């Protein structure tokens, strides 16, 4: 009887939706916060020297990838939705978690590193690449998160 | 693919020929002049020029040209190209302008004085505006502002803060039997503007009362008559000032045709400055001078022949000594030199190190393509950069970068076609009527991400192994053959063993292939580990040191694993591009194929794909660079060489053709 309830009310799909929501929600928050941290630091540098706009912009854009990854995961979960049973729905909810949470924290922390790297650009713009590399170190974990999420979705 | 070999040139020439020889060296631009120290024993003979005065004089002229260029550049109507290139100029035209350089400098001074006048007039206008702002609240005042006294009364103008209670003040003054009248001329959110007319005898007491309530007197002594007339006059004054500014700006505009000449003169003085600086590095006596510098080995003979022919000089060339550092000039083929900029951002190779560019470039380009992985985007990139590369004149550095982007675009087409992504699912959606049809040549990573994950990790293993091979190449160059066995081959065995051991656990690896290799994994791993244990501590002192060194090297297995895992970004970035591209198409086609729906599709398509392309191309670029810098370079690359900086005409605006 409970099984009928689940199927007739599409609870599987509901959990899958939750998974998609979690993936984008938190990853998006992380990116928004990260980009804003870097952007605030960057605006100060550009105010002093507008020639540094491009390197600052590149560094500022780096923490935006978490949001994009979250978007990708949300979309991949969407494409699975339609008559899922409860266990599949819960699987997809679980699959959204790594991207959501790792995305949020890595986005924020990457934003902080990016802001510090903008400090490098402010002093020595020729060392921008070193700043980018330091910032990308944080990115690796967001990449692992999207991978784990993708592989989990692939199993449903 | 190599660091160009250099020769050290010592040149002894007659002092009379010095300027001409230096100019010729500058023209050819293949010698890096070194600062030559005078040997103590020859102290009495030789001597070095210090050209501080000349240089500061030249720098002054450069600065005034620079300022003049900055001032008139906005008036210049010539079309500006997308990428700024130096204009080419024949020697004849160049000399003609240089001949008139004093005239040009006079023009610069004129331009600067015009600009100074404009600035001072603009300041005056600003001051006037402030003045108007101060006067405006007083416009309702009905008496001339310079009337401060009548026979019996004195008149004061001033402000009260808005919190002051004027009614109470008035009744206060009345109670004290003081004769005073307050007129509120105006009020705004901050203060009252008040005129106080008071009986002369009561002035002191009244002012005390007023001041207690925050009255601050405003002095209109600079103004006469009615406020309104004053404001009108100031406006008139401003108009006059503006006219002057307009005239001066017109004059400035006329100078904009001289912009080119000023730029040439700027470059002329830059060249002069370089000459003076080079001159400081040369040792000279009364009759001769001596210079020393590095020349690329293949150009050295020709150079020395030419100099011998033209002047009486003594030139000796020699190879660098064993430990001597020489400046690094790179020479790579068509593909190899495209990543020279990427490597230079990390570090210039040392003079006795293998130049990584030729090996690295194909990896960079392939990884870029794999991460952007959309044939449509690749097509746009390859065509745009191709046009730039072959049709538009570009400076050397920009040109190499554009070439790299063009090649990366081609690689993107390659991978995009393999994965069946042309602007996402654009082709199946529009031409086949169903966006879910798979048109990939190889396979579609959205459907089978694990398979691509396996390939990404495999590319990682290959890249890291090539990095180890580069380490071996460095050892060959340094003739440390035993080190190849200990520091390269043993790692190969060790890492290969590790790869075989994990193979069955990696998703996407076909079981039959894993079954072939994995049995050997354990053996290789153990052989590798033992070799490393025995050899990696060999440079350490004492038995304990050697053992610790050997053991700690095993920890590099973790580094290797994380290096390889890092290549999973190839999959992640690639998927992000194609999934978002597909979403854009799906969103665009939601409106159906009515007229409005089609227009919406076109708009969403154009905007969405531009955005997706921009963000992912940037991502592919930085991540592809990172894979080189961290995973590849740390296997072998030292860097820290000094780039070859030949003594040549370094100009900003014009390129002088010989």
State pLDDT tens for residues A53-105. 888 888 888 898 899 889 889 988 988 888 888 889 999 999 999 999 999 99
Between B63 and B433, the more confident residue is B63
Question: Is pLDDT above 80 for B507?
Answer: no
pLDDT digits (tens, 9 = 90+) for B472-490: 999 998 888 888 888 899 9
Residue B466 resides in a domain: yes
pLDDT digits (tens, 9 = 90+) for B329-375: 999 999 999 999 899 888 899 988 899 999 999 999 999 999 999 99
Rounded to whole angstroms, the Cα distance separating B365 from B466 reads: 16
pLDDT value for A2: 65
Mutate to test the interface with B, among A72, A73, A98, A153 (most CBs of B within 10 A): A72
pLDDT value for B296: 94
Taken as a whole, chain B contains a residue count of 658
pLDDT value for B395: 85
Question: Is pLDDT above 90 for B503?
Answer: no
Residue of B nearest to A67 (CA): B576
Between B225 and B635, the more confident residue is B635
Beta carbons of B625 and A129 less than 8 Å apart: yes
Beta carbons of A58 and B618 less than 8 Å apart: yes
pLDDT digits (tens, 9 = 90+) for B590-632: 888 889 989 999 999 999 999 999 989 988 998 999 899 989 9
Any idea what the CATH number is for the domain that residue B211 is in?
3.30.70.2750
pTM: 0.81
Q: Do residues B67 and B122 share a domain? A: yes
pLDDT value for A8: 64
Domain assignment of residue A36, given as a range: 2-154
Three-state DSSP class for residue B145: coil
Average pLDDT over residues B406-411: 96
Residue B62 resides in a domain: yes
Three-state DSSP class for residue B444: coil
By Cβ distance, the residue of A58, A68, A128 closest to B576 is: A68
Q: Do residues B309 and B170 share a domain? A: no
Average pLDDT over residues B44-68: 87
Rounded to whole angstroms, the Cα distance separating B591 from B603 reads: 12
The vertex-B630 CA angle with B529 and B577, nearest 5°, equals 120
Q: Do residues B530 and B509 share a domain? A: yes
Q: Do residues B119 and B71 share a domain? A: yes
User: By the CB < 8 Å criterion, does B421 face chain A?
Assistant: no
By Cβ distance, the residue of A65, A140, A154 closest to B450 is: A154
| Cβ A62 vs Cβ A134: under 8 Å | no
Give the gap in angstroms from C-alpha B651 to the nearest C-alpha of chain A: 20
**Domain end (from B260, B294, B314):** B314
User: By the CB < 8 Å criterion, does A31 face chain B?
Assistant: no
The number of folded domains in chain A is 1
The number of folded domains in chain B is 4
Question: Is pLDDT above 60 for B1?
Answer: no
Average pLDDT over residues B530-552: 83
Q: Do residues B353 and B210 share a domain? A: no
Residue of B nearest to A71 (CA): B580
Residue B657 resides in a domain: no
Mutate to test the interface with A, among B83, B451, B571, B626 (most CBs of A within 10 A): B626
pLDDT value for B131: 87
Beta carbons of A140 and B566 less than 8 Å apart: yes
Domain assignment of residue B400, given as a range: 349-426+446-635
Please provide the average confidence, as pLDDT, over all residues in chain B: 88
pLDDT-derived band at B383 (thresholds 50, 70, 90) equals very high
pLDDT digits (tens, 9 = 90+) for B118-160: 999 999 999 999 988 888 888 888 888 777 888 888 888 888 8
Percent of residues, chain B, with pLDDT higher than 70: 100
3-state secondary structure B30-86: CCEEECCCCCHHHCCCCEECCCHHHHHHHHHHHHHHHHHHHHHHHHCCCCCCCCCCC
Q: Do residues B623 and B516 share a domain? A: yes
Beta carbons of A61 and B345 less than 8 Å apart: no
Q: Do residues B501 and B584 share a domain? A: yes
Any idea what the CATH number is for the domain that residue B306 is in?
3.30.70.120
pLDDT digits (tens, 9 = 90+) for A117-149: 999 999 987 788 888 888 988 988 998 898 899
Q: Do residues B33 and B67 share a domain? A: no
pLDDT value for B226: 83
Question: Is pLDDT above 90 for A108?
Answer: yes
Q: Using the CB atoms, write b or e for B436-469: b if 16+ within 10 Å.
A: eeeebeeebbbeebbbbbbbbbbbbbebbbbbbb
Q: Do residues B488 and B513 share a domain? A: yes
Rounded to whole angstroms, the Cα distance separating B642 from B326 reads: 8
Question: Is pLDDT above 60 for B411?
Answer: yes
Return the number of other C-beta atoms located less than 10 Å from residue B411's C-beta: 23
Across B7-21, B26-40, B151-165, the highest mean pLDDT is recorded for B7-21
Residue B288 resides in a domain: yes
Chain B environment of A60 (Cβ under 8 Å): none
pLDDT digits (tens, 9 = 90+) for B431-444: 888 888 888 999 99
pLDDT value for A6: 59
Q: Do residues B294 and B396 share a domain? A: no
Q: Do residues B20 and B164 share a domain? A: no
Q: Do residues B373 and B236 share a domain? A: no
Question: Is pLDDT above 90 for A116?
Answer: yes
Any idea what the CATH number is for the domain that residue A93 is in?
1.20.120.610
pLDDT digits (tens, 9 = 90+) for B200-229: 888 888 888 888 888 888 887 777 788 888
pLDDT digits (tens, 9 = 90+) for B242-260: 999 999 989 888 888 888 8
Sign of torsion, CA B107 B108 B109 B110? positive
Question: Is pLDDT above 60 for B427?
Answer: yes
For B321-470, strand residue ranges (E) read 330-331
**Domain end (from B168, B185, B219):** B219
């Amino acid at each position: 009887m409970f099984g009928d309830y689940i199927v007739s009310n599409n609870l599987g799909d509901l959990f899958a939706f939750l998974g998609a929501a979690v993936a984008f929600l938190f990853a998006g928050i992380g990116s928004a916060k990260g980009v804003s941290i870097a952007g605030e630091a960057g605006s100060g540098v550009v105010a002093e020297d507008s020639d540094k706009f491009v390197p600052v912009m590149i560094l500022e854009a780096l923490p935006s990838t978490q949001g994009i990854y979250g978007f990708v995961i949300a979309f991949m979960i969407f494409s699975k939705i339609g008559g899922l049973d409860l266990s599949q729905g819960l699987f997809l909810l679980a699959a959204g978690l790594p991207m959501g949470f790792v995305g949020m924290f890595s986005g924020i922390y990457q934003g902080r590193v990016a802001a510090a790297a903008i400090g490098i650009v402010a002093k020595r713009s020729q060392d921008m690449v070193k700043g980018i590399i330091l910032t990308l170190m944080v990115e690796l974990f967001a990449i692992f998160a999207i991978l784990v999420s993708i592989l989990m979705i692939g199993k449903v | 693919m190599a660091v160009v070999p250099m020769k050290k040139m010592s040149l002894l020439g007659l002092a009379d020929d010095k300027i001409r020889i230096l100019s010729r060296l500058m023209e050819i631009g293949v010698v890096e002049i070194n600062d030559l120290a005078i040997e103590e024993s020859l102290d009495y003979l030789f001597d070095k020029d210090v050209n501080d005065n000349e240089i500061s004089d030249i720098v002054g002229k450069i600065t005034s040209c620079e300022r003049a260029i900055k001032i008139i550049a906005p008036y210049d109507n010539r079309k500006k190209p997308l990428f700024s290139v130096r204009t080419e100029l024949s020697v004849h035209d160049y000399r003609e302008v240089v001949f008139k350089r004093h005239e040009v400098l006079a023009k610069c001074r004129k331009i600067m004085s015009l600009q100074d006048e404009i600035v001072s007039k603009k300041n005056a206008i600003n001051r006037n505006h402030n003045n108007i702002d101060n006067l405006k609240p007083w416009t309702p005042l009905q008496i001339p502002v310079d009337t401060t006294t009548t026979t019996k009364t004195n008149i004061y103008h001033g402000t009260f803060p808005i919190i002051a209670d004027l009614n109470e003040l008035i009744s206060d003054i009345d109670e004290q039997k003081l004769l005073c009248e307050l007129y509120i001329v105006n009020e705004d959110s901050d203060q009252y503007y008040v005129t106080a007319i008071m009986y002369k005898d009561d002035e002191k007491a009244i002012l005390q009362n007023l001041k207690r309530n925050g009255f601050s007197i405003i002095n209109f002594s600079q103004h006469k008559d009615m406020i309104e007339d004053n404001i009108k006059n100031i406006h008139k004054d401003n108009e006059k000032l503006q006219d002057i500014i307009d005239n001066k700006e017109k004059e400035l505009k006329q100078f904009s045709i001289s912009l080119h000449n000023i730029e040439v003169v700027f470059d002329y003085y830059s060249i002069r400055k370089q000459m003076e600086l080079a001159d400081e590095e040369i040792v000279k006596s009364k009759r001769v001078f001596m210079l020393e510098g590095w020349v690329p080995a293949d150009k050295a003979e020709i150079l020395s022949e030419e100099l011998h022919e033209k002047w009486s000089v003594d030139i000796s060339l020699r190879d660098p000594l064993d430990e001597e550092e020489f400046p690094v000039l790179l020479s790579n083929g068509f593909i190899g030199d495209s990543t020279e900029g990427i490597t230079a951002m990390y570090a210039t190779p040392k003079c006795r190190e293998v130049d990584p560019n030729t090996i690295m470039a194909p990896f960079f380009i392939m990884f870029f393509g794999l991460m952007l992985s959309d044939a449509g985007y690749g097509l746009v990139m390859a065509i745009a950069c191709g046009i730039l590369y072959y049709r538009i004149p570009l400076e050397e550095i920009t040109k190499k970068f554009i070439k790299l982007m063009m090649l990366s675009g081609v690689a993107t087409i390659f991978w995009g076609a393999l994965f069946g992504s042309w602007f996402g699912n654009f082709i199946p959606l529009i031409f086949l009527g169903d966006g879910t049809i798979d048109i990939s040549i190889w396979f579609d990573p959205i459907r089978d991400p694990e398979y691509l994950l396996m390939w990404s990790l495999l590319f990682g293993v290959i890249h890291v192994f090539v990095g180890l091979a580069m380490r071996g190449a460095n050892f060959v160059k340094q003739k440390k053959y035993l080190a190849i066995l200990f520091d390269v081959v043993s790692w190969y065995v060790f890492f290969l063993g590790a790869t075989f051991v994990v193979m069955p656990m990696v998703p996407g690896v076909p079981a039959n292939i894993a079954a072939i290799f994995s049995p050997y994994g354990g053996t290789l791993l153990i052989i590798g580990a033992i070799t490393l244990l025995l050899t990696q501590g060999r440079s350490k002192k004492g038995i304990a040191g050697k053992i610790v060194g050997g053991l700690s090297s095993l920890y590099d297995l973790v580094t290797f694993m994380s290096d390889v895992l890092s290549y999973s970004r190839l999959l992640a970035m690639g998927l992000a591009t194609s999934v978002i591209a597909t979403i854009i198409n799906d969103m665009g086609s939601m409106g159906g194929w009515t007229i409005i729906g089609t227009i919406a599709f076109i708009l969403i398509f154009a905007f969405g794909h531009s955005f997706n392309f921009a963000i992912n191309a940037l991502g592919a670029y930085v991540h592809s660079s990172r894979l080189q810098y961290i995973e590849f370079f740390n296997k072998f690359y030292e860097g820290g060489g000094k780039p070859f900086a030949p003594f040549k005409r370094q100009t900003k605006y014009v390129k002088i053709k010989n």
